Structure 1
Amino acid sequence: MSQKETKKKKIGQILIPVCFVLIGAACGILFMKFLDGPETAGASRGDKILKILVALVSMCAALILQIIIHEAGHLVFGLLTGYRFISFRVSSFMWMKDDDRIRFKRMSIAGTGGQCLMAPPDLKDGKMPVQLYNYGGAIMNLIASAISGGLVLLCPAGSLFRPFLLMMLVTGIAYALMNGLPLRMSLANNDGRNAWDLARSPEAVRAFWTTMKMNELSARGVCLRDMPEEWFAVPDEEGMKNGITSSLGAVACSRLMEQGRFEEADALMERLLSQNNGIPGVLRKMLVCDRLYVELIRENRPEALEALRTKDQLKFMKSMKKYPSVLRTEYAYALLAEKDPEKAQTVMEAFEKAARTYPNPNDITIERELMETAREAAAV
């Protein structure tokens, strides 16, 4: 990554914690004002404890509700511009369209508090609406914040509902800024950055459409290896600098993995990871996870495994410990590096538990095939 892009990424990494500190500070000030208001004078100990609980619950509820509102913004503005619903996730709780039914699933992705996936409208002359869909979450946070601010003016000073409205006002503005300003962050680019990348590059719009079509087909049970081959052309070096377009390079590696073309996958992953490109952090970490797996089933060199299993990589994999491909790699590591069948069995049980609620059964099928490949390698 260039010095300029690295600087932008560092700004994003700094601004997000600063926003959370400011949210905490603002909520703390509101919290103290609520507790020290004139209506509290002479209040009983029980009433004061009740007000403390109300303030704490209000802060937590506002934080969670603004995440839901944010993802609902993507959904609403997506539907208004021709997108179709696929799934809606808050934290690890996910609701997914399956034929004509909505089913509950579980999945979490590091660096994201939620996600609304939608199928894109058709491209027309290489174009499609992208700005409202990407900015929809921040717009909805601002709307919720404005409504909360208006209701505060109508709410009596001593009302137990007032702290919730005030915290909705603060968190809505903060979430809008964190997601609306174009920022590169350590694991994932925010909505504003995606919108910025899309506005600057027609190729990024096509890549965005392609990625969303992949999500749509994956939700229908289609594996990457069965999707059109032309979707997986790796962008050139200039194209790989764009945060949207570069994702196609990462997903091309995943397709090679599904096809069992491990040597080609490893060579491509090594090349992409050595470039100064725009691949989002979470995808870079997943590429390293796949490189670990390939090293394990092929040469299984301790020094190569040590180089890949950095402290930062292990921390990421721990944060994604219920994700199928991470569990698959941990399974292979237990079998082939640690030579510990009992630990491998424990990882397998965790995998099967995660598989029961994972949204895409086709991914589970692929991961089971890769785990079987690891077992065969261990038996040699």
Structure 2
Amino acid sequence: MKKSFLRIAIHITIAFIMLYRYMIAKGFDNLGQLLSFDPILIPILLAGLFLSIYVHIFLHEGGHFLFGKLSGYRLVSFQVRRFKYSQADHSLHHMQAASPLLAGQCLMAPPNGDYAELPYRGYLLGGILANALTGAALYSSAFLMEPKVGSLFVLLSFVPVWMALSNLLPKGQNDGAVLREVSRSLPARRLLFQQLEMARLIEGKVPFADLPDAYFEDLKDAQYQKTFLVDYFYMVAYVRALGELEFEEADSLLRAFSAHRPVKESVYWPIYVMESLFCDALFGRLTNAEEKYIQIQAHPLLKRYWYANNRIRAAYAFFCRVDIEEAKKLLKQVSAGAENPPEGMDNNIEMLVIRWLNSYFEH
């Protein structure tokens, strides 16, 4: 709570300083003079500020792409909200089940070479630099214009400045946090590069079962449990186990994840809650499953994930509630969304598990 308050205070302070310097430069005696325009423009301005967020998300990811290319990285995919371009098949498509946590993402594969020698700062800082430069350009341009137009440019500059600060100041698993993490240790840097390499393979439709086993050897190494970058490997290993219908292995991986990592701090926490409920249902841990269900219904983000995954809802209905008709109904609905599997899931694996669940109703 204290860190969140401090971050908000920093943003507000910087915005105030920017506005105050502009007022002084333009000779304003008070804020009222600056804001003396038609009130009907206020909702238009607010709408413009909101829409500009999407522009700056695009520029942020474009910054990762530009500085990544300059560092020798290769594009894997480029996503802004629900629109995603995949380099593997040169396709642009609209995602129905994009993660609510993901505003944008520019995935790039690192150049070949020794992990200890590969560049990473340019790629990680590219988005921050793009937002910072855009904010600086908008703010500087304001001083060249007449006051009322210039004041709008000052306000519009707040969005990219805010995004630059939000990504630079380490929080969760943002760019600043990843940069700090990989700068501290070689194991974390190795995990970053392996994650990018594995993402390229997955984006290229390589089956999860065919992913090199070497990527998952570090899951049992204590030194890798110290970094949040290992969380991704737990999730991919879990999906691989599901693809083999090795439910005991999948359950074991989730249990190891929660035992070794602060799960609630991970960006994969919503997926963990959903999939652990699925495993609880399969293995008859009814009390655990019911507790998670109550938690999901009380949490808006978890609830969104819940309604996006009929497989888990069907398993809960069948194994926990013994509501066979509801389970059948949910499984039938899966076919309609077969091209849009839940976040982090491979479509073939998702349908394989669905067919396994359906086998309960074939006799």
Give the TM-score range, shorter chain. 0.7 to 0.9
SS of residue matched to 1:85:
strand
How much has 1:238 moved relative to structure 2? Answer: 3.0
Higher RCO (C-alpha under 8 Å, 6+ residues apart): 1
Could you say if the C-alpha distance between residues 352 and 83 of structure 1 is closer, same or farther in structure 2, counting changes exceeding 3 Å?
farther
> What is the CA deviation profile of residues 209-253 of structure 1, one whole-angstrom value per residue up to 9, with x for unaligned ones?
211112111111112211111111214233112121343233222
Matches within 5 A, 1:350-369: 351-356=334-339, 363-369=346-352
Could you say if the C-alpha distance between residues 113 and 338 of structure 1 is closer, same or farther in structure 2, counting changes exceeding 3 Å?
same
Matches within 5 A, 1:123-162: 123-124=113-114, 126-159=116-149, 162=150
Is the counterpart of residue 291 in structure 1 residue 281 in structure 2?
Answer: no
Could you say if the C-alpha distance between residues 38 and 215 of structure 1 is closer, same or farther in structure 2, counting changes exceeding 3 Å?
closer
Q: Match of 1:226?
A: 210
Question: 1:311, 1:359 → 2: CA distance?
Answer: 19
Is the counterpart of residue 169 in structure 1 residue 154 in structure 2?
Answer: no
Matches within 5 A, 1:56-135: 56-99=46-89, 101-106=90-95, 107-124=97-114, 126-135=116-125
* Matched-pair contact (CA < 8 Å) for 2:239–2:345: no
Q: TM-score scaled by structure 2?
A: 0.83
Structure 1 unaligned blocks of 5 or more: 1-9, 42-46
Q: Match of 1:217?
A: 201
How much has 1:176 moved relative to structure 2? Answer: 1.2
The residue identity in structure 2 corresponding to 1:334 is: A
Could you say if the C-alpha distance between residues 360 and 62 of structure 1 is closer, same or farther in structure 2, counting changes exceeding 3 Å?
closer
Q: Match of 2:25?
A: none
Q: Match of 2:246?
A: 261
The residue identity in structure 2 corresponding to 1:200 is: R
How much has 1:69 moved relative to structure 2? Answer: 1.7
How much has 1:191 moved relative to structure 2? Answer: 0.8
Question: 1:267, 1:311 → 2: CA distance?
Answer: 22
The residue identity in structure 2 corresponding to 1:109 is: S
How much has 1:164 moved relative to structure 2? Answer: 4.5
What RMSD over aligned residues (CA atoms) do the two structures have, in Å? Answer: 3.5
SS of residue matched to 2:206:
coil
Question: 1:156, 1:353 → 2: CA distance?
Answer: 55
Q: Match of 2:310?
A: 327
The residue identity in structure 1 corresponding to 2:127 is: G
The residue identity in structure 2 corresponding to 1:300 is: G
Paired-residue identity, %: 24
Q: Match of 1:281?
A: 266
Q: Match of 1:318?
A: 303
How much has 1:133 moved relative to structure 2? Answer: 1.1
Is the counterpart of residue 199 in structure 1 residue 177 in structure 2?
Answer: no
The residue identity in structure 1 corresponding to 2:68 is: G
Moved more, 15-24 or 135-144: 15-24
Could you say if the C-alpha distance between residues 34 and 257 of structure 1 is closer, same or farther in structure 2, counting changes exceeding 3 Å?
farther
Q: TM-score scaled by structure 1?
A: 0.79
Could you say if the C-alpha distance between residues 232 and 378 of structure 1 is closer, same or farther in structure 2, counting changes exceeding 3 Å?
farther
Is the counterpart of residue 250 in structure 1 residue 239 in structure 2?
Answer: no
SS of residue matched to 2:87:
strand
> What is the CA deviation profile of residues 35-89 of structure 1, one whole-angstrom value per residue up to 9, with x for unaligned ones?
9547957xxxxx542x224322222133232222212111111111111122222
Could you say if the C-alpha distance between residues 227 and 310 of structure 1 is closer, same or farther in structure 2, counting changes exceeding 3 Å?
same
SS of residue matched to 1:309:
helix
How much has 1:370 moved relative to structure 2? Answer: 0.9
Find 1:236's aligned residue among 217, 221, 225.
221
How much has 1:367 moved relative to structure 2? Answer: 0.3
SS of residue matched to 2:346:
helix
How much has 1:115 moved relative to structure 2? Answer: 1.4
* Matched-pair contact (CA < 8 Å) for 2:60–2:126: yes
How much has 1:19 moved relative to structure 2? Answer: 6.8
